[in-house]
Amino acid sequence: MKRILVVLGILLFSLILAKAEVEEEKKEEKKEEVEETTYSAKKIEYIIEEDLIILSDSAMSKHKNIIVMADSIEYNVKTKVIKAYGHPFLIDDKDTITGMVMIFNIETRKGMVTVGATKIEKGFFTGDTILMVGEKTLNVKDGSFTTCSSNPAHYSFYSKKMKVYGNDMVVCEPVVLKV
């Protein structure tokens, strides 16, 4: 009888330890899932029905290493999409892109900028539409590239379609040199 009680006691103790370990693992998983997004603006509105945060006047949103600044920002909490209006800037690590209107998904890191501009290691890109399609990959429509830092540039290469691969390579068709 004593042996049965000892065995039952050991089994009960083992179950309690196993349950505690599982609960601890769940807590750690939840900690990893929580991703913080911070906001600031002179005026902040939250529309509960639409899960929409509207930042007006000197708006800024930060998620991980991505910072978006603009005159106004709309952030959809469910879809993780930021819409920025009025000279938006997106800073992702060391890369910066600016334009007139920006739509950007902070989870997929994909988005679009109208009348955009960005600097890469070897020069400057501008485009009527710049699509952020992957890790350091851009599709530029009606864009130009130059290494000239003057404004306006003394020369540039214009193309209807450009694909920019990081700081390494650009594929264009057709290309026109503007002087």
Domain limits for position 170: 109-179
In the predicted model, what is the mean pLDDT of residues 76-85?
94
Q: Are residues 97 and 119 in the same domain?
A: no
62 or 24, which is more confident? 62
Count of all residues that appear for the chain in the document: 179
Q: Please state, in angstroms and as integers, the Cα–Cα distance from residue 130 to each residue in 51, 116, 176, 179, following that order.
A: 27, 6, 19, 23
Q: Are residues 144 and 86 in the same domain?
A: no
pLDDT per position as a tens digit, 114-171: 999 988 877 888 999 999 998 888 999 999 999 988 888 899 999 999 988 876 788 8
Q: How many folded domains does the chain comprise? A: 2
Residue 26 lies inside a defined structural domain of this protein: no
Q: How far apart are CA 125 and CA 143, in angstroms?
A: 7
Q: Which residues pair with 75 in a beta bridge?
A: 53, 82
Q: Count, in order, helices (H) and strands (E) of the chain.
A: 1, 13
Domain boundary pick from 68, 84, 108: 108
Q: What's the pTM?
A: 0.74
Do 62 and 55 meet the contact criterion of CB atoms below 8 Å apart?
no
Share of the chain above pLDDT 70, in %: 82
74 or 19, which is more confident? 74
